[in-house]
Structure 1
Amino acid sequence: MLPRAPASGPEESPRCLTPLAAERLRAALLCLLALGASCARAQSESEPAPALRPSEALAEPISAEARRQAPTFLFGDGLHGQIDGESVLEGDAMLRRVDTVIRAERLRYDRATNTVRAEGDVRLNRYGNVYRGPELELHLDDGSGFFTQPSFSFLKNGGYGEAARAEFIDDHRSQVHDVRYSTCRRNGPEWLPDWVLRAARIDIDNEAEEGRAHGGVLEFKGVPILPVPGFAFPLGDQRRSGFLPPTLDLDSVGGFTYAQPYYLNLAPNYDATLTPTLMSRRGVAVGGEFRYLAPVASGQVLGNLMPSDRLRGRDRWGLSTQHQATLAAGTGLSLNLNRVSDADYWRDFTRGIPALTPRLLPADGRLSWSQGAWSAQWRSLKWQTLQTPDAPIIPPYDRLPQLTARYGLSPSRGWQYTLDADYSRFRADATRTLQPNAERSVLSAQIGYTWLTPGSFLTPTLRTNHTHYAFDAPLVDGRTRATRSLPTFSLDGGLIFERDTAYFGRAVRQTLEPRALYVYTPYRDQQALPVYDTAAKDFNLDSIFSDNPYVGSDRIADENLLTLGLVSRLYDADNGGELVRLGLAQRLRFSSQKVTLPGETPIDERLSDILVGGSLQWSPRWRADAGLQFNPKTGRSLRTTLGARYSPGNYRVLSAGYRLKNGISEQLDMGWQWPLNDLWNDPGLDLGPGRGLGAGRWYSVGRLNFSVMEHKLVDAILGFEYDAGCWIGRVVFDRLQSGAASSSSRIMFQLELVGFSRLGSNPLKTLRDNIPRYQYLREPAPPPSRFSNYD
């Protein structure tokens, strides 16, 4: 998977945002901004902020002229001096003005020069950011001065730091020498953080919104892990070109992988990332990403090239691009192109193909238009099917092109009209599909009327479908053209009964909702017609109330049946939340269904399988769902799904599932995120979503998928997270089944320096995608108000 220029959150975003490299470099030098008490830019308090925004540490909500005109207040146990000259305060001395509070043992204020000199345990508070040191001199008009041996803490991002000396050149420029910065808290007089960024000197220019650090190094547990000898970083929201944190991976197929992305800030609305990658077993590759964002268009291009793959002995490449554009009012264009170099790509790069089905890669272009009740679309779709000899698949049909148009009015009550037209030209490899390619035209019209009352509804509907085929090769019966016309009549109605009652001492509202659907479609012989885009609908409590068991236009089943269903629900009487839902449904056939898909047999049973389903969430902690397809004649379940989830609080979730398709598959699934400290009765403090349970916590995360029929583990994710407060360590093992007899495994290590950067592999997206209700231990939070640390 090609890396993106990271955004401010845990997950990468396709928007053009400040890259993590810039955030990392800026954050290292927050001390510089904080100490430059008079040199910060105007900034709105209400503006949402990412995890690190150093340029806001000394936000200045008033102009420089207003600051000069603002009154100055002096307090102290003792005061002496001249009215228009120098005033000396001793004993709990304090100077207060609109944007600054200075406390010290001794404070000298020169009114003529508007200069303050503070000595002895000097404490400077600006908008909740606090700085301490033995000596401060500050010219309040132009911001020049110095602070010796300052330490500092920031309200908005929780950062801490120390410096040997800070020199304020003017309102915009300053220098800080021998800097240490970390987000690890100070727990005593001696500050020994687990991780720290050191820099020999930092030069800040707030007017140019740029900072430069010299002689930097990142240390963890006293060990230097990342040298940063010299770099520039932005002080505002603007992006800067530069290196992003490297990614390290250990994969059973590719071996050890090192990827070093470089970010290119090309313009405010487009950027790029280049990622050279070294794979110990395969060789060298280079990846790239280009993104753009415009008022009427947006998109991205992802590419990867490996000139010579040592495992396969050939060049490998992958390409994915998505674009969306608004051409005019109601007119839009979208492109989705995915291509790879060879059929083995999906096996070798199991996590690198940006498609839902890795063996089917679409190249899809759409031009759409809509205006009121009218809409139309032109579409061109061509698939790349990755065939392998041990597991061949029937390729889907390309649509070159597909043209659709629709007119529809569908109010909730009264008359409803729809008219649909579809022309598609289907193309595929006939030696694999074993049927000819064709052009298909479909015209469908529907009219209905809905009577709706608070306790009932009734909707009769009449639909007609006319389909015409023109084949490239003759059918078995010699025809090169075929036409099918079919009407469908349906009558759908139901009742809703309600009553207020109580169960287990809880006030609820109970409903009883019987429903009946009658459908009639006459029989037309369709067995000779090829199948291009049609498949059977999943048989469930929703699809059973439809007038055709197939999706697509190649099969319209002959129906003369009545579907009966009953649903009962319990709603919380106070908040209206659904607590319990129970439902069942069954079809009663008055005649056999003769129209089927290839390989299916006609349905002669008068009574269908019974569908039973329900959900239970009596408590917010627990949720359970169940579904059953039961054959009353054989007394056996054809399909069963069971699921349960227990989540008593943040960072605590257990989920389990069981899925059975009789004779086809049987699987068990379990996922979890749980603090291991609970095992020794140490639950910690629930600080809320995205804040963790406190420092010194271990968490177990994982998901297991087991095939009961094959007696083997299919996919697995196992990992541990340790939250030390100012840093988080993660180790995650990921096993992915890529074929009937092949799989790939990798181990991901990550060190997250909270509020600063992440080093190593990134398992967060894997955990979020695979573990239901997984929560990040650190989410970006809105900055606290400066008044929360008011002095």
Structure 2
Amino acid sequence: MGICFIILAFDFYLSGVRPKPDSPETAETDLVHQMPFTKRSTYTLTLAISAAIMASYATAETAPSEAEMAWSCSMSKDGEWDCSVNEDLVNQVESSTQPPSGETAQSPVEEVATEANPSNRTVPAPPTRVSSKAISAEPEQKQQATTATRPSTTPNTTVTTSAAIRRPATSSQVTSNQSGVWDCVAGPNGEWLCNGEQTSVASKNSGGTEINQQVAQPAAVSPNTPIVTNEVLGSEWQCSTSATGDWDCHKVNVHAIAMPGRTGSSGASGPLYITENPYSHLDWVYYQNPQAQQCSGRYLEPEFPVMGDEHLENPPMYLEAGQSSTVIGGLTTLQGGVNVRQGSKRFSSSSAELDQVTNKARLEGNVSFREPGLLMLSDTAQVDTSTSEAIFNNAQYVLHEEGLRGRAQRIIRLEDERLRLEQGDYTYCPPYSEAWQLSSDNIVLNKEEGYGEAEDAVLRIAGIPVLYTPYFTFPIDDTRRSGFLYPSAGYSKESGVDLSVPYYFNIAPNLDDTLTTRYLSDRGLILENELRYLNPWSDNILNTAYMPDDDVLGDNRWLLGVEHKGTFAKHWHSEIDYTAVSDEDYFDDLGTNLEISRQDHLDKRAQISYLRDNWVARIKVHDYQTIDSSSKAPYKRLPQLTLKGEEALSENVNFSLNADITRFDRNLAGLTGSDRVIGDRRHLMPSLSYLWQTPGSFIKPTLSLWSSSYSLENQVAGFSESPSVNAHILSIDSGLIFERDLDNGGIQTLEPRLFALHVPHKDQSAIPDFDASELDFSYASLFRRNRFSGLDRLGDTQQLSLGLSTRFIGQQGVEKASFSIGQAYYFADRNVQLDSTKPAETDSQSDIATEAVWYLSPDMRISWDAVFDHSDFDGKESNLRLRYNSDLNHRFDFSYRYEESSREQTDLSFIWPVSRQWTTMGRWLYDLQDEESLETSLGLEYESCCWTVNFAGRRWLDDTDQYDTGIFLNFTLKGLGSFGSGSSDFMNDIIGYKEREEHYEK
């Protein structure tokens, strides 16, 4: 009788059938959800029933009387079940059947998020409660996390089940996973190693939405292997058994680790994060080594397993809760640890109500909403599950990728994924800082378009309102959009206050325009425009500027610039670089915000090139505008045709060719004598060389033919209008390489080099100087075949150059230091000079040239080259440079230049942080001979997580030998924009500054 009663009670528990309640508004609910005990008690109850049944079969005793039932239930007035458990009977049954040693069952635990370190998940086996025989008798007796809502056997009844009870298998078996919960096996140390898998038992509600009330587990996770991630794993649970056999669980935060295989270019693993902090609920993590970062932390969303339905248009919904009940009409109430997943969207709350008819849901208590790149927290939320529209009350939000956060009285997530903030704010600052924020009664954040809009917006800095605007748009990523850019302001002595307001036109994905209105208080209004056009075969930029009637000069001022680079066919390339201004003083007086190169001679150049293998053919037109009155205008090339290349005729024989045809012209106003000569030049130089090489030596003889002919106009009287030069060039370059081992494991080399050169003398006094110049004497020039650049001079010589180099190479094959010294010996005078009136060089030997490099570390090196007089070894030229370059924020460069009776200057530039937020940068150019500073610039930058300020000052010597000064200030509110005055023009002279700015703009 007792056995029958227990079996009937157990069957009654599974079916959930009970008398119809008095109130017709309440549907039938699962018996477990009406029982006043916890999940553990429910599990204990189930074990007690199973133990009683199995014990009865084993002992063949009569069932106990009703007073000795394992449990008994009765219905209360309100239709709830009131149950009690006979603990003495349960303990008596358990003690009567002890399991064999080593075969123990384990009490249930809450689902634990997978950790990076398996050792942290080891949970000791609890005291034995049920014999192994009892478990073996029911190997498939596992319950799902939740079961899908299904129709009742009666018209007014809906049956649901309780939250998950996950039962591991014994050490000798692995249970099947047909129910879609957990497969577990006992590890060597007694810990449970489990694998989860998702199954879907779905039903359609009246609105057509598929609902799966279960826990969404990873679809393919290897057994016994934790998910390893370098992202935040979030809050997890660690459990152990107490002395009474109960589970003692507490919440912990897991420090993320670097994922194996995910390393940077340097091979170092990713950064480590500390997740236990007051702001972890916003997915904020601190860097374990904040000194290496600009900010102390960042927003980092957790990684979730890929379930396979994230990209479905109407993905099913999965629910998990501690308790659930459904009333007539489709209203489901969820209590205790509510988790909802629909595709890539995840909700959680303390409780929730789901209306399956209207597809509406209401969540209350610690509401959290996640989708890729977005986190929202609120007190309550209303969600339309069919459109994904949602309303969050008293909410916070975080956009992880953009690094943005804020609060709002109410946030409405629209169907198109825009966020509408009512009485909200927006900031780029970390959670612990309120350095600035933009607040408004109505803010719309459009992640898809990459911008935000605010009405009646107030900008607050340190909580103080500093700016009001009735309407304001701002970027939230790098997506382009038409609108005003942030203004800039500055001051200079020449033009007064300089205020610039740019407007950006996003015309098309491949076409945009920036129009800048500049106001100079002492001169007037100037308009600057930059038009950019991109097509599949070219990049194009058009720059224009116009100032009508300059108040100081009394004339119109203008600028025109064109840049083009293209590849219009295979092997064919085109390029245009054209700049023109209204007058020589344009840049000195007005400057520009446009990307225009400022030089004494502005380029007006266009060319088309054909490149294939080792050959280049090019046609070029090159003109100049000289804006420095003290400089002589260079010759124009109208046009220039060139062909250059080389071809290997065999393994050791090489052929090369340099051919050039050019028309030279120039503005002849104010020129006299040979400076007025213009005309055509034709040049051809074929060469043939042979290389004989062994591991310790080489010899390379080369024979070339120099042939140049001219057709000249305005030739100097007494010289031919069609001069020509034809000569051969014969050289033999050779060297030896000796090595010896050093005590430190490195190698020192000794490399003598011998270079013989023969170039006959040819009279070139009738040939003008179109593009020739004399190269500086140095160690490298000892081995050149022509001491002139260009094609108008061929230096005659019969010389033998001797060089000696030594290199020190470390154990890893990296050069640590080198030193070279050399000298040339002449066997004939050098008669050819740039200026035909200059006498020939008659010295029988050259000066002594040296160069040295010392690599103090991978980031620092010292280089030095010098020229010493061959007779008394006095220094004639010297260049010393110390350079340190560890990264973009640590640069130091010092150079000293000396030329006898000509120049002695020092140039120092640096970029160096004095703290994590403060960075200094500057340049100082000083003339030691005149004892005056030529240019001094100093910049100071403060950068935090959400704002940056740059201050720069400059003092320089202008063309009239008068000092001018400029002060520049720029503010940047990260995620909002920047305003101030530009200072990049002169700051670009600081070595590494331009590279640094381009890097941070990416």
TM-score using structure 1 length: 0.81
Could you say what secondary structure the match of 2:817 adopts? Answer: strand
Specify the alignment match of 1:751 in structure 2.
971
Q: Distance in 2 between matches of 1:173 and 1:156?
A: 16
The answer to whether the aligner puts 1:248 opposite 2:489 as a matched pair is: yes
Letter in 2 for 1:183: Y
Specify the alignment match of 2:522 in structure 1.
281
Task: Tell me the alpha carbon deviations over residues 121-167 of structure 1, each in whole angstroms, 9 at most, x when there is no partner.
Answer: 32223336332111112223311231012111232232111111122
Change (3 A) 1:64 1:647: closer
Specify the alignment match of 1:269 in structure 2.
510
The answer to whether the aligner puts 1:432 opposite 2:671 as a matched pair is: yes
- Aligned mate of 1:124, from 369, 383, 391: 369
Specify the alignment match of 1:394 in structure 2.
632
Q: CA deviation at 1:673?
A: 2.5
Would you say the 8 A contact 2:396–2:408 is kept in 1? Answer: yes
Could you say what secondary structure the match of 1:593 adopts? Answer: coil
Change (3 A) 1:169 1:321: closer
Q: CA deviation at 1:714?
A: 0.8
- Aligned mate of 2:953, from 724, 733, 746: 733
Change (3 A) 1:764 1:384: closer
Letter in 2 for 1:385: T
- Aligned mate of 2:765, from 513, 527, 530: 527
- What is the aligned residue count? 698
Change (3 A) 1:282 1:422: same
The answer to whether the aligner puts 1:592 opposite 2:829 as a matched pair is: yes
Q: Distance in 1 between matches of 2:425 and 2:650?
A: 65
Q: CA deviation at 1:497?
A: 3.0
Q: CA deviation at 1:764?
A: 5.1
Task: Tell me the alpha carbon deviations over residues 300-340 of structure 1, each in whole angstroms, 9 at most, x when there is no partner.
Answer: 11111111112222111111111123343322322221111
Q: Distance in 1 between matches of 2:568 and 2:324?
A: 72
Would you say the 8 A contact 1:320–1:354 is kept in 2? Answer: no
Q: Distance in 1 between matches of 2:702 and 2:409?
A: 82
Q: CA deviation at 1:234?
A: 8.1
The answer to whether the aligner puts 1:305 opposite 2:305 as a matched pair is: no
Task: Tell me the alpha carbon deviations over residues 105-125 of structure 1, each in whole angstroms, 9 at most, x when there is no partner.
Answer: 333344555544222232223
- Greater shift after overlay, 258-267 or 209-218? 209-218
Specify the alignment match of 2:911 in structure 1.
673
Would you say the 8 A contact 1:651–1:774 is kept in 2? Answer: no
Would you say the 8 A contact 1:491–1:519 is kept in 2? Answer: yes
Could you say what secondary structure the match of 2:671 adopts? Answer: helix
The answer to whether the aligner puts 1:443 opposite 2:691 as a matched pair is: no
Would you say the 8 A contact 2:719–2:766 is kept in 1? Answer: no
Q: Distance in 2 between matches of 1:396 and 1:231?
A: 51
Change (3 A) 1:332 1:382: same
Would you say the 8 A contact 1:233–1:240 is kept in 2? Answer: no
The answer to whether the aligner puts 1:723 opposite 2:943 as a matched pair is: yes
Change (3 A) 1:374 1:580: closer
- Aligned mate of 1:580, from 809, 813, 817: 817
Q: Distance in 2 between matches of 1:492 and 1:475?
A: 40
Change (3 A) 1:454 1:236: same
Correspondence 1:217-232 to 2 at 5 A: 217-230=458-471
Q: CA deviation at 1:750?
A: 1.0
Which fold has the larger relative contact order, with Cα–Cα distance below 8 Å and residues 6 or more apart in sequence? 1
Letter in 2 for 1:596: Q
The answer to whether the aligner puts 1:610 opposite 2:851 as a matched pair is: no
Correspondence 1:352-371 to 2 at 5 A: 358-371=599-612
Q: Distance in 2 between matches of 1:72 and 1:198?
A: 37
Q: Distance in 2 between matches of 1:256 and 1:639?
A: 44
Could you say what secondary structure the match of 2:850 adopts? Answer: strand
Change (3 A) 1:339 1:742: farther
The answer to whether the aligner puts 1:409 opposite 2:647 as a matched pair is: yes
Letter in 2 for 1:536: E
Specify the alignment match of 1:7 in structure 2.
none
Change (3 A) 1:83 1:559: farther
TM-score using structure 2 length: 0.65
- Greater shift after overlay, 433-442 or 726-735? 433-442
Letter in 2 for 1:132: L
Q: Distance in 1 between matches of 2:319 and 2:914?
A: 54
Could you say what secondary structure the match of 2:770 adopts? Answer: coil
Would you say the 8 A contact 1:346–1:353 is kept in 2? Answer: no
Q: Distance in 1 between matches of 2:888 and 2:763?
A: 58
Q: CA deviation at 1:740?
A: 5.0
The answer to whether the aligner puts 1:260 opposite 2:501 as a matched pair is: yes
The answer to whether the aligner puts 1:627 opposite 2:865 as a matched pair is: yes
Higher strand proportion, which one? 1
Q: Distance in 1 between matches of 2:587 and 2:686?
A: 42
The answer to whether the aligner puts 1:177 opposite 2:432 as a matched pair is: no
Give the root-mean-square deviation of aligned CA atoms.
3.3
Q: CA deviation at 1:752?
A: 1.4
- Greater shift after overlay, 763-772 or 739-748? 763-772
Q: CA deviation at 1:741?
A: 1.0
Q: CA deviation at 1:91?
A: 4.4
Change (3 A) 1:256 1:366: same
The answer to whether the aligner puts 1:510 opposite 2:755 as a matched pair is: no
Q: CA deviation at 1:493?
A: 1.6
Specify the alignment match of 1:565 in structure 2.
803
- Aligned mate of 2:981, from 737, 761, 786: 761
Specify the alignment match of 2:399 in structure 1.
154
Q: Distance in 1 between matches of 2:867 and 2:798?
A: 22
- Greater shift after overlay, 341-350 or 286-295? 341-350
Letter in 1 for 2:930: E
Correspondence 1:93-132 to 2 at 5 A: 93-110=338-355, 114-127=359-372, 129-132=374-377
Change (3 A) 1:209 1:581: closer
Task: Tell me the alpha carbon deviations over residues 383-435 of structure 1, each in whole angstroms, 9 at most, x when there is no partner.
Answer: 112253xxx22211111222223453158952211233222221124443631
Letter in 2 for 1:559: T
Could you say what secondary structure the match of 1:553 adopts? Answer: coil
Letter in 1 for 2:826: R
Would you say the 8 A contact 2:309–2:315 is kept in 1? Answer: no
- Aligned mate of 1:479, from 707, 717, 720: 720
Change (3 A) 1:453 1:116: farther
- Aligned mate of 2:316, from 42, 49, 70: 70
- Greater shift after overlay, 204-213 or 722-731? 204-213
Q: Distance in 2 between matches of 1:114 and 1:236?
A: 34
Q: Distance in 2 between matches of 1:649 and 1:636?
A: 39
Unmatched tracts of structure 2, length 5 or more: 1-281, 283-297
Q: CA deviation at 1:458?
A: 1.6
Unmatched tracts of structure 1, length 5 or more: 1-34, 36-51, 678-692, 783-791
- Greater shift after overlay, 701-710 or 377-386? 377-386
Letter in 2 for 1:674: W
Q: CA deviation at 1:249?
A: 1.4
Specify the alignment match of 2:408 in structure 1.
163
Greater C-alpha Rg: 2
Specify the alignment match of 1:661 in structure 2.
899
Would you say the 8 A contact 1:217–1:226 is kept in 2? Answer: yes
Task: Tell me the alpha carbon deviations over residues 754-778 of structure 1, each in whole angstroms, 9 at most, x when there is no partner.
Answer: 2332211233565454144788599
Would you say the 8 A contact 1:394–1:433 is kept in 2? Answer: no
Could you say what secondary structure the match of 1:432 adopts? Answer: coil
Letter in 2 for 1:251: S
Correspondence 1:16-31 to 2 at 5 A: none
- Greater shift after overlay, 421-430 or 121-130? 121-130
Specify the alignment match of 2:710 in structure 1.
469
Could you say what secondary structure the match of 1:308 adopts? Answer: coil
Could you say what secondary structure the match of 1:544 adopts? Answer: helix
Q: Distance in 2 between matches of 1:176 and 1:617?
A: 57
- Greater shift after overlay, 613-622 or 438-447? 613-622
Q: Distance in 2 between matches of 1:648 and 1:172?
A: 43
Specify the alignment match of 1:707 in structure 2.
927
Would you say the 8 A contact 1:730–1:749 is kept in 2? Answer: yes
Could you say what secondary structure the match of 1:258 adopts? Answer: strand
